[in-house]
Structures are given as C-alpha cells and as structure tokens.
Structure 1
Amino acid sequence: METAFTRLVGVRRPIVQTGMGWVAGPRLVSAVAEAGALGVLASATMTPDRLREAVREVRSRTAAPFGVNLRADAADAADRVQIMIDEGVRVASFALAPSRELIAGLKEAGVVVVPSVGARRHAEKVAAWGADAVIVQGGEGGGHTGEVATTVLLPQVVDAVRIPVVAAGGFFDGRGLVAALAYGAAGVAMGTRFLLTAESTVPEAVKARYLAATVRDVTVTRAVDGLSHRMLRTDLVASLEGAGRARTLFRAARHAAAFRRLSGLTWRALLRDGRTTHRARSLSWSQTLLAANTPMLLRSAMVDGRTDLGVMAAGQVAGVIEDLPSCAELVERVMAEAEDVIGALGTVSGVGDRREVRRSL
C-alpha cells in the first residue's frame, strides 16, 4: 500500500512503530523494519555511545529504512543528531518540536524529519519550519497525551498542513488504518500494539499484565511527573496519586540521580536539560523535578519487570489487545484487514473495484 508517507521514508507499509523508551530497542526496531513498516529507536534512555551501537545493531539486522526518536530539548541533541547523520539513519522523529535550526541541519544531511505533535498549532509550526511529515497523537495514545481525541484532532491537522500526516492514538488493526486514510492521513503509528509483540523485550510478566487489562484499567494521571500520562491503573499509581508533596519531590530527586548514572550525563548537563524542559513545556520547577520520575519508573517495569515498583505506559487499545504476534505477523494482519475493509466498502458503495475505493480514500 503506497501513500505519501511510504514514498517519503521508503517503506512498504504505511505503519510506524513509535519510539518507546526502554522498549524500542534494536531487536524490535529491526523486526518492524523487516516487516516493511517504519521502526523507530528510542534514544532518550540511551547514552550517545549506546545510541551509536544500537543504530549499528539495527543496520546489521536489516537493510530497510528505520528512524531514531530524539529529545529536541536534550543538552546533547546536536551530538545525537551527528551520530544519526554519521550512521546514515533515514528518519529523525521528535517527541517535542525541534527547532528550526535543528530541522534545517537534518534536512541538509538528507534526513527525513518527522516530529510528533498533539495540537494543530504545533503541526502548523513545525510544517512552517520545514518538517517533512508529522505524527499526530490523539488523547487515546499512551504515555504523555492530550485531551483531544484522535477523531477530532486528526482532521484538524490534515486540513491545516500540506505535508504527510501519520495518525497515532487508538490504532491496532486494519480497520483503524483504513479509517485514518479516510480522514486524510498517510499512515498510522502504533506504540502499545508493537510493545505487545514477540520481538518486544518487555518482560513476559509485564506483557501478561497488559493482556489482562480491560479498557477500564487504563487511566490518565498527573501523579508521575505533573503532566497528563496515560498508563495502566496499578496500586503504585494509586499510591503516587495519594503521596504528599514532600515525599513525591524526594522520590523525584532520587530518580534524577539514578537516571544521571544510567544516561552518563554530568550533573551540569542534567541541570541544563531541566532548565530547557522548564522553558519548553512551561512547567513549574516542581514539575520539572517530577519529570525525573518518568524514565526510572518506566524502566522498573519495562526492563526489570517490577510492576510493583514501575509504571506501564499504555494506550487505550491495551484493553482490546489479546495476543503477542511477531512483528511480521502483525503487520501482515493489519494490511490484510485493511484490504478486506476496503473491499467491503467497495461492495457497500456499489463501486466493486478496490482500486477505485483506494482512489476515493
């Protein structure tokens, strides 16, 4: 299935695996790329040296295009961008809007720039700065999320920009892909669905918690880092919501120290990152300190398997996912379902020709 997005990044399937911290490593990314979709490495939880190693590991497993997700506000963002350019990475994605200068530098090096946005005005801004495409996440998406549903946000952004738009938040099957195409998107991005695959390195006990969840077990809380964060409802989340301010800030300071050790950052670099985050997200200083909670609490669950000590970011689709296919099986299933839906739409409309239905989409 060819769309403006597949042509832009050079993949066969209009599907993106999002850059999930502690989850989107070389094994998952290379499996997604081999399946014909766009895999995206999550670099924010890697040191620069580990990022270079991870890129080379993916390259050793597949010749297909893949991407790297970056924190635009990181103190070493320029160094990470240089690693991507040196190693020939095809796509740069961003959780926060990259600067005009960062976009220009990547494009000059031939890297496709695809920021993630959660509002129409953000899409308009990065498009005006030269972004090649945008991923638009509605409120159904996991992790940090907004309040506007994908079905409302997506058409707003499609109407506002003239670059390919990839829809995220609430997608897990072929029906969703066809619906996104009907809204004018050029593909879909999925996080939770790829987290729950055979190649995902998330511990099996944690995957089992996701599979057992219903849609009512997915909640949005601000207790982790002061921002709206969609995750599975657990006893830990409840305790974080009930914790006092002093206890919460003390935990965040401890997590900041632990993350500094894991990431290889100096205290000066960590403080510089904090100041940048404080300005970029218009956070209070207490919220900025709370942001240190996120990577370490996610690591406890996604790496160590401690669901009692960590949080599990989750899109609402966690409540309807019931299996752990390989990435190849998942991508083929999504595409087959999409073909079936397109065929059924052709029958309903009386067109009877899938090619004509595709043109109408």
Structure 2
Amino acid sequence: MTVLNSGTGPLHTRICELFGVKYPIVQTGMGYVSDARLTAATTTAGGLGIIAGAMLTYDELRSAIDYVKDRTDQPFGVNLRANQDDIDRRIKLLIQSGVKIASFALAPNQAQIGRLKDAGLVVVPSIGARRHAEKVAAWGVDAVVVQGGEGGGHTGAVPTSLLLPQVVDAVDIPVIAAGGYFDGRGLVSALAYGADGIAMGTRFMLTSDSPVSQAVKDVYLSKSVNDTVVTLEIDGVPQRVLRAGTIDQLESSHGPTRMLRAARNAIAFQRLSGTPWSRLIREGLEMRKSHELGWRQVVMAANAPMLYRSALLDGRTDIGVMATGQVVGLIDDIPSSAELVERIMQDAEAVLARLTPAPAPAPEPELDSRVLSAENVKGTTN
C-alpha cells in the first residue's frame, strides 16, 4: 500500500505507515455515531476515521463514502459486519470506491480477507481475546484492534492492561489498543505495552462533530466511572452501557416485570422502525438458536438496533440504550475532533519529554598540563 506520509519519532508508529495517516489515533466505527461527518473530521485531523457501515443501507453507505471522499483525500475506513446478507456487495463497493481500510467488529472469513487484500485494502478486525488475535493473524489480516473490558458495547471481561500485552506478545502484526483511552497519557501507555496506537469510541462520540445531540451528550457527561453496567439484557452477549433508560429499568426489575418491559419496548420500536414483525421474529429465533437466549432476550435482541438509534439519534434516553466505555466518567468536555487529536498528541509529547532524561552537560575541556610562561605568551621585552 502506498504510504501517504512519512515521519520519525516514537509517536510515528507502524499504523501511521500502514494506514497512511499522520497520527496513531483511530476513531472506531460506532453504530449510529460514526457517520460521514465525524469520519471526515477525524480523518482531516490526522487520525483514522471509520464509517459505521453495518447500520447503514447499501445506498446510505455509498453516500457516506462519497461524502468523506468529497471532503478529504486522506485514507479512511469503513466498518462492516462480516455476516451481513449483502456483505459481498458491500466489499465490492469498498473496492470500487477506493476505500483504504476495511474494519470488522466480527472477524471476516479467510475468503473475505483475501478478496479485500487482493484489492489493496488493509483489513483490521476487532478482537477481545488472545486466541482470536492469533486466529485472524494466521488468516492474513494486517492489524487488530484489541478491546479490553473497559470498552463500550460488546466487550469481554479481561481489562485492557492485561489483554493488550498478551496480544502484543502473541502476534507480529500491528496492535491497536482500545478500551479506556481518552488522552495523551493513555496513548503513551499503550505504546509502552507494545501497541502501535489507540482506538477510541466514547471519546470521539463526545465531540462536537458526532451526530449525537447535545442533550444526550450531557447525559454522558453527568456519569461517573461507576455509572456503567455490563449487561446481557440486549442480545445475550455482554455489552457495556450506561445505567440509564431501558437498561436501568431492566436491570432493576425481575421476572415477569422484565418480560413486560421488553415486550412494551418491542412494540414501541417496531412502530418506530416500521420493521415487519415477521423479520423481527425471524431474527429473534436465529439469535435464540445461536446464542441460547431466553425469550425476553430474544425480544430485546431483535430490537437492539432501534434501542441504540432511539437514544443516540432521536434523543429518547428514557427508552433507548446508550453504549459507552467506562472512560465516560473521565470525560468532561466536548471538543471538536481536530481539537481532541491535537490535544492528545501534545499531551503525549509532553509525557514523553517528562520521561526522557535530560542530556548530561558536556564536560569541561581539560587544561594542557604544561604551564605557559609569560615569555611563551607575550614574548620577550628585550
């Protein structure tokens, strides 16, 4: 792949070369959040912006790609779901549109990886366990995003500080750390563990370039590190979300009450989305079979996309679901993407300067052992 920029120093890492970006900072492909505007803003700021393509229709994805291309000539990525019905068509779109990076939340198969790489794209899946990193590395992916338990949305139980060194030691490809990052100190710490950069979701969501309304952002800003919960209530797979809205209700209710709330939400979201009941039921049955879910979880899982959309885009924090990393409790402002990236890089430089010993002063030159006489210096007066 052609390198679009060059640089030196500890903050110019392998992913800068691999992606062709200025800084080792990745904005993750968050559903309903990482739209074309946020992606373009991050990319223009020198990081890697990624469009959340999994939640878009094919035509919406095509329009989003065109939007970013019209606003920057720098590389950006698109996040896809490997098991989408039209994944082959979407891969073809990325290839034809000249997208540089293909990102996946669920690992693509070997055929998909090969097709993308043959077309010159960089393939970067997200993983949550060492064995998953080893598996996709053997399949030929170019890098991996490693998300620890502090991360938002679907997440595992192992914290980033333990998972990251495991993966770095297990694979030779670039590793990008995710889960708990929001500033320059975090970037330096990730590099110290052996990562080649950081990926952030919640921090980029809480910028002025994200599509999330200010009212919803204010809810996030009001939360502490203890105001998140990892729940199975959405689709049977652990997800970290805010203690608010639907999740707060479901986590605090039991038995029949939970089922009743889930059913009421299902009806509300079906009306809002217009999705046929037959499709919701079919998807729910598939989830029940593949994840061994209970019926209440099936009802919730079938409506999971609308749960997120209702909160993040429609501002219905009372009935929606708000994915978040635990780092939300450390964020207290809403900068632009450019301001955020610049701040992180400046902070990282300052941390590195503080950790780098000052050079020792140069030694004083030694005097000649001979003592010059006045006659040697001035000559004789005769």
1:303 paired residue number: 313
SS at 2:226's partner residue? helix
CA positional deviation for 1:295: 1.2
My pick for the range that moved more, 245-254 or 40-49, is: 245-254
SS at 1:216's partner residue? coil
1:66 paired residue number: 76
Would the alpha carbon gap of residues 233 and 272 (structure 1) be closer, same or farther in structure 2, given more than 3 Å must change? closer
Give 1:43's aligned amino acid: G
1:135 paired residue number: 145
1:121 paired residue number: 131
Structure 2 residue 307 is matched with structure 1 residue 332: no
Greater relative contact order (Cα < 8 A, sep 6+): 1
Would the alpha carbon gap of residues 278 and 36 (structure 1) be closer, same or farther in structure 2, given more than 3 Å must change? farther
My pick for the range that moved more, 247-256 or 213-222, is: 247-256
CA positional deviation for 1:40: 0.5
Spell out the pairing of 1:234-273 with structure 2 (5 A cutoff).
Answer: 234-241=244-251, 242=253, 244=256, 246-247=259-260, 250=263, 254=267, 257=270, 261=274, 271=282
Q: 1:31 aligns with which of 41, 52, 56?
A: 41
Structure 2 residue 195 is matched with structure 1 residue 185: yes
Q: Distance in 1 between matches of 2:125 and 2:26?
A: 13
Spell out the pairing of 1:104-115 with structure 2 (5 A cutoff).
Answer: 104-115=114-125
1:294 paired residue number: 304
Asked if the contact 1:29–1:39 (Cα under 8 Å) also holds between the matched residues in 2, the reply is yes
Spell out the pairing of 1:1-361 with structure 2 (5 A cutoff).
Answer: 1-241=11-251, 242=253, 244=256, 246-247=259-260, 250=263, 254=267, 257=270, 261=274, 271=282, 275=286, 282-284=291-293, 286=295, 287=297, 290-347=300-357
Q: Distance in 2 between matches of 1:219 and 1:237?
A: 9
Q: Which runs of 5+ in 2 are unaligned?
A: 1-10, 361-382
Asked if the contact 2:177–2:198 (Cα under 8 Å) also holds between the matched residues in 1, the reply is yes
CA positional deviation for 1:227: 1.8
Q: Distance in 1 between matches of 2:120 and 2:270?
A: 37
Q: Which runs of 5+ in 1 are unaligned?
A: 353-361
Give 1:247's aligned amino acid: L
SS at 1:93's partner residue? strand
Q: TM-score, normalised by structure 1?
A: 0.89
Q: TM-score, normalised by structure 2?
A: 0.84
Would the alpha carbon gap of residues 120 and 134 (structure 1) be closer, same or farther in structure 2, given more than 3 Å must change? same
Q: Distance in 2 between matches of 1:175 and 1:332?
A: 13
Give the fraction of aligned pairs with identical amino acids, expressed as a percent: 54
1:356 paired residue number: none
Q: Distance in 2 between matches of 1:145 and 1:78?
A: 27
Asked if the contact 1:301–1:307 (Cα under 8 Å) also holds between the matched residues in 2, the reply is yes
Q: Distance in 2 between matches of 1:295 and 1:96?
A: 16
Asked if the contact 1:256–1:292 (Cα under 8 Å) also holds between the matched residues in 2, the reply is no
My pick for the range that moved more, 226-235 or 181-190, is: 226-235
Q: Distance in 1 between matches of 2:138 and 2:45?
A: 33
CA positional deviation for 1:226: 1.8
Give 1:148's aligned amino acid: V
Asked if the contact 2:284–2:298 (Cα under 8 Å) also holds between the matched residues in 1, the reply is no
Give 1:91's aligned amino acid: I
SS at 2:356's partner residue? helix
**Cα offsets for 1:220-249 (capped at 9, x unmatched):** 222222221111111532212225364366
Asked if the contact 1:203–1:302 (Cα under 8 Å) also holds between the matched residues in 2, the reply is yes
